[in-house]
Amino acid sequence: MADIEKQAEKIQAKARKVIEESGVVDIWKSIGAEINLVGSLETGLLMNKRDIDFHIYTSELKIAESFRAMAIFADNPAVRRIEFRNLTDTDEHCIEWHVWYRDSEDMEWKIDMIHILKGSTYDGFFEDVAKRIMAVLTPEIKRAILELKNKTPESENIMGIEYYQAVIRDGVRSWDEFSTWRSSHPVAGIVEWRP
């Protein structure tokens, strides 16, 4: 196995340990929510960005209930900061939570928890994106994505979907190609591309 894949596996194992130690899944289940892992960790493409993404669903979107789950989460001393965005009146029908969490090695992780109304526009959408990405991943595509992520400067904020779209759909393989690709594919809002 290539070094880059070993490096990715190592950070993914740490991410799964953060999920277990934080109790995040059980916390959301305690208010009757369904919680799904999405994004780079779910697809096996988490590389060097300590970022974990969850989509959480309830049949009613009650801010007080969302706060109840987050109050339990916030009681953990490893939780250092929490951000909240109320998007219940948008097409996204969601409440965004962003948490900064310190693991047992004192490394900071960002945990994004998007609490979504069941049956709304994005119900299951990103879970489907992850399944479709995993279905088309070949060893060569996976390596190309991991290498691009590994070459990304820390100061750059690039969404995972940008890498996947560039590599899977448009055949991008080098950092220079990716930089050029990004300049001609600016992101505005949610990217709805799926392979």
Domain that holds residue 82: 3-122
pLDDT of residue 168: 98
CA distance 64 to 149: 37
Q: What CATH number is given to the structural domain containing 62?
A: 3.30.460.10
Tell whether 193 is covered by a domain.
Answer: no
| Domain match, 80 and 13 both | yes
β-pairing, 34-38 vs 51-58, is: antiparallel
Q: Locate all alpha helices (DSSP H) within 75-138, ordered by sequence.
A: 125-136
Q: For 135-151, what is each residue's pLDDT tens digit? A: 999 999 999 999 999 99
Angle between helices 3-22 and 139-151 (to 10 degrees): 80
- Show pLDDT as tens, one digit a residue, over the chain (195 residues): 579 999 999 999 999 999 999 999 999 999 999 999 999 999 999 998 999 999 999 999 999 999 999 999 999 999 999 999 999 999 999 999 999 999 999 999 999 999 999 999 999 999 999 999 999 999 999 999 999 999 999 888 899 999 999 999 999 999 999 999 999 999 888 888 999
pLDDT digits (tens, 9 = 90+) for 59-98: 999 999 999 999 999 999 999 999 999 999 999 999 999 9
Both 92 and 144 in a single domain? no
Q: Are residues 59 and 97 in the same domain?
A: yes
155 and 82 within one domain: no
Q: pTM of the entire structure?
A: 0.94
Picking from 75, 90, 122, the residue at the C-terminal end of a domain is: 122
So what's the pLDDT on residue 80?
Answer: 96
Residue 189: per-residue pLDDT:
82
Is 65 among the domain residues?
A: yes
Residues 113 and 177 in one domain: no
In this structure, the answer to whether residues 80 and 168 fall within a common structural domain is: no
Helices (H), the chain: 3-22, 24-29, 39-43, 63-74, 125-136, 139-151, 160-164, 175-184
**Considering 122, 137, 163, which residue would you say is the last residue of a domain?**
122
